[in-house]
C-alpha cells in the first residue's frame, strides 16, 4: 500500500483515558493545546485546512514487549482528520461515510485502500489489547509545559469468580451455588436477583445489574468501603477499583425480602500484569 498522509489510530483499551486532555489539570492542558495551535498557525497539520476550531491530537507509539506507550507528538487537526483518527467514535456517531470520504480525498487513494488500512488498524488494536496496563513515556516540555507530572494509574487486576458465567441461562438452584442468598420470608419475589455482572479489567470497573435491591454494599478485606442506594426498578451500579489497596472485594445486595452476597473478586497488584 502507498504511504498514507492521514492514518487511522485505534487506541488500545488499556490506554483509554490515559490521554493528557483527561489527566492533566485544565490549565496545563490549555497550555499544551494552545502551544500546538500556535505552532500549526491555525492550519490542520494533515490536510492543511485553515480554521480557528482545531483539535489537539496526541500521537502515541505502543511497544508490546515493554508495555510502554510513548508520546511522539501532539498535533493540531481539523475535525474531519480527527474523526478519521478516532474512527470508532465517528462510526458510533454515524459519521463513518463522511470520514471515509475525507480519508480517500486526503490520501488520494481508493476505497479498497481504505478498507485494507482499517483492517490493519483493527488487527493492531486487537494485538495491543493483550496489554491491560501501559507505562507512559512523555516529555511535555516540547509543548510549552515545564515540570508537568505524568500521572501513572494504579488499577489492580480483578480476578472475576463469575468469568464466562451466563446468569440468564442458569436455574435458581445453580445461581444459589454461585451466590449466598438469604430470604427473609417465602415471598415470591425473594432476595435481590442478579441480571448482569461484568468486569472491565482495562479500566478496573465492576458493573452489577439487579432487581429487587434497595442498596449494594461493597466490602474490601472485611471492611465496608462503599454503599449505594436504589430508588425503584432495575439497579445498575459500578465500582472502580483504581487505587484500592487490598486482596479481595465482594458485594452484598439488600432488598425488602432478603439479601444476595457475591463471591470474592481477587485484586492483584498492577505490577503482576
Q: Are residues 65 and 125 in the same domain?
A: yes
- Give tens-digit pLDDT for 183-219: 887 655 678 999 999 999 999 999 999 999 999 999 9
Task: Give this prediction's pTM.
Answer: 0.87
Domain end residue (candidates: 112, 143, 174): 143
Domain end residue (candidates: 143, 171, 192): 143
What integer pLDDT is reported at residue 1 of this predicted model?
58
Q: Are residues 138 and 163 in the same domain?
A: no
In a domain, 8, yes or no: no
- Asked if 181 contacts 194 with a C-beta cutoff of 8 angstroms, the reply is no
Residue burial 138-172, b: 16+ Cβ < 10 Å; e: rest: bebeebebeebeeeebebbbbebbbeeeebeeeee
pLDDT, mean of residues 163-189: 83
Q: How many CA atoms lie within 13 A of 54 on its CB side?
A: 27
Q: Are residues 169 and 200 in the same domain?
A: yes
Interatomic CA distance for residues 117 and 111, integer angstroms: 10
- Give tens-digit pLDDT for 229-264: 998 899 999 999 999 999 999 999 999 989 999 999
Residue written as cell 489492580?
Answer: 156
What integer pLDDT is reported at residue 186 of this predicted model?
60
Number of domains observed in the structure of the chain: 2
Q: What is the CATH number of the domain that holds 248?
A: 2.60.40
Domain end residue (candidates: 88, 117, 143): 143
In a domain, 95, yes or no: yes
Amino acid at each position: 500500500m502507498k504511504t498514507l498522509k492521514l492514518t487511522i489510530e485505534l487506541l488500545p483499551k488499556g490506554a483509554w483515558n490515559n490521554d493528557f486532555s483527561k489527566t492533566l489539570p485544565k490549565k496545563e492542558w490549555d497550555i499544551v493545546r494552545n502551544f500546538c495551535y500556535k505552532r500549526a498557525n491555525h492550519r490542520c497539520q494533515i490536510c492543511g485546512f485553515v480554521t480557528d476550531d482545531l483539535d489537539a491530537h496526541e500521537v502515541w507509539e505502543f511497544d508490546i514487549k515493554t508495555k510502554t506507550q510513548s508520546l511522539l507528538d501532539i498535533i493540531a487537526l481539523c475535525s474531519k482528520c480527527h474523526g478519521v483518527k478516532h474512527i470508532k467514535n465517528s462510526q458510533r456517531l454515524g459519521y463513518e461515510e463522511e470520514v471515509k470520504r475525507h480519508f480517500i480525498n486526503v490520501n488520494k487513494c481508493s476505497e479498497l485502500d481504505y478498507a485494507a488500512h482499517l483492517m490493519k488498524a483493527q488487527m493492531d488494536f486487537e494485538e495491543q489489547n493483550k496489554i491491560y496496563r501501559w507505562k507512559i513515556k512523555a516529555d511535555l516540555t516540547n509543548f510549552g509545559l515545564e515540570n508537568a507530572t505524568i500521572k501513572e494509574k494504579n488499577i489492580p487486576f480483578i480476578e472475576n469468580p463469575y468469568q464466562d458465567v451466563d446468569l440468564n441461562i442458569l436455574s435458581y438452584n445453580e445461581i444459589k451455588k454461585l451466590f449466598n442468598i438469604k430470604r427473609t420470608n417465602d415471598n415470591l419475589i425473594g432476595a435481590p436477583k442478579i441480571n448482569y455482572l461484568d468486569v472491565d479489567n482495562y479500566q478496573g470497573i465492576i458493573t452489577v445489574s439487579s432487581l429487587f435491591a434497595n442498596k449494594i454494599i461493597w466490602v474490601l478485606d472485611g471492611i465496608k468501603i462503599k454503599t449505594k442506594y436504589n430508588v425503584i426498578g432495575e439497579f445498575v451500579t459500578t465500582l472502580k477499583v483504581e487505587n484500592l489497596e487490598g486482596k479481595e472485594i465482594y458485594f452484598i445486595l439488600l432488598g425488602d425480602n432478603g439479601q444476595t452476597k457475591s463471591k470474592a473478586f481477587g485484586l492483584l497488584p498492577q505490577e503482576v500484569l
